[in-house]
Amino acid sequence: MTPLLSARDAYARTLLELGRENEDIVVLDADLSESTRTSLFAARFPERHFEMGIAEANMIGTAAGLASCGKIPFASTFAVFATCRAFDQLRMSVAYPKLNVKVVATHGGITVGEDGASHHAIEDVALACALPNFVVIVPADAKETEKAVDAIARHVGPVYMRLTRLAVPVVYEQSCDFTIGKAITVRDGKDVTIIANGIMLSRALGAAAVLGQDGISTRVLDMHTVKPMDEVAVEKAARETGAIVTVEEHLLHGGMGSIVARAVLEKAPVPMRFIGIRDRYSRSGKPDQLLEMHGLTAPSIAHTVRELLAQG
């Protein structure tokens, strides 16, 4: 059975290590430090942790001010609050002046579960991608989160990173060759490519294993960086496998799939299908129930691949 590890905990551990190495790293939170796990940083470096209260817009504005003074601020809250409540501040205070702010948001997607639609961040990746100068990252597991946090700390410029509430299946057991803007081929194949990120990567690999039993050779790409997207990897997949399915725990409108589709259309048009949340909000429920309801499971992904290939 695949072990489950928390990306939030991986974020906290890595942030603490980076804080030991670099005194310019500061951390801000909006009354959710226990949930985002930045409380670990606060316990070790209280003078560099700023509790902003339930005031996400102010948190982002303060982070921008700290960045303008040479600090490297990490601002954390739930994904739905980081993007929806503070979008104007992200736009005008961070993206427009291209300040070195790292927004690492937890509780992304519908797997927040019983908290319901008000807390399900399903628009956040699209909103972040719409901001010029922002890098947008959705890591797949704890190991990739560690690598990604280290990478964004060294990257100069605005970053939005989405993490989940749940502990997630381990994809990278030993190491992860993470580079901003460069997709990872987790499994090679020649008949079709599944492009996924976040918690959907493990489901995509599950679908590829099922398809392999039917003799369908499936490539799986980890598109951890949604922006800037690895268009070279997308074009290579399109030309070599001839069909692409994208999978994301996000609205289809404005999400990863739409960006992949643009690259495919411009570089090497091939048949495509898109798996994600259609034009609706979800509801309160167990995470696995909600994933099933929206077709975000390995069997559903495999079914969509079979349908695509059957249509030639």
Give the residue extent of every domain in the chain.
4-169, 184-310
CATH entry 3.40.50.920 includes domain 184-310: yes
Shortest CA distance to 12 belongs to which of 34, 225, 24? Answer: 34
- Please give the helix or strand (H or E) that residue 226 lies within, else none: strand 225-227
Residue 1 pLDDT: 60
Candidates 34, 56, 240, 266; catalytic one: 56
Radius of gyration of the chain (CA): 19
The reply to whether omega before 228 is within 30° of 0 (cis) is: yes
* pLDDT (mean) for 182-209: 98
Residue 4 pLDDT: 87
Whether residue 233 has pLDDT greater than 80:
yes
Whether residue 312 has pLDDT greater than 90:
no
Span 191-204, pLDDT tens digits: 999 999 999 999 99
What's the angle, vertex CA 178, arms to CA 291 and CA 182, rounded to 5?
Answer: 85
* pLDDT (mean) for 275-281: 95
* pLDDT (mean) for 251-264: 97
Identical fold for domains 4-169 and 184-310, yes or no, is yes
Mean of per-residue pLDDT scores for the chain:
96
* pLDDT (mean) for 158-173: 94
Span 64-119, pLDDT tens digits: 999 999 999 999 999 999 999 999 999 999 999 999 999 999 999 999 999 899 99
DSSP designation for 115: G
Q: Give 223's pLDDT tier (boundaries 50, 70, 90).
A: very high
* Domain 4-169, CATH homologous superfamily name and number: Thiamin diphosphate (ThDP)-binding fold, Pyr/PP domains (3.40.50.970)
Tokens of 209: 């294993």
CB 134 within 8 A of CB 97: no
Q: Residue 56 catalytic? A: yes
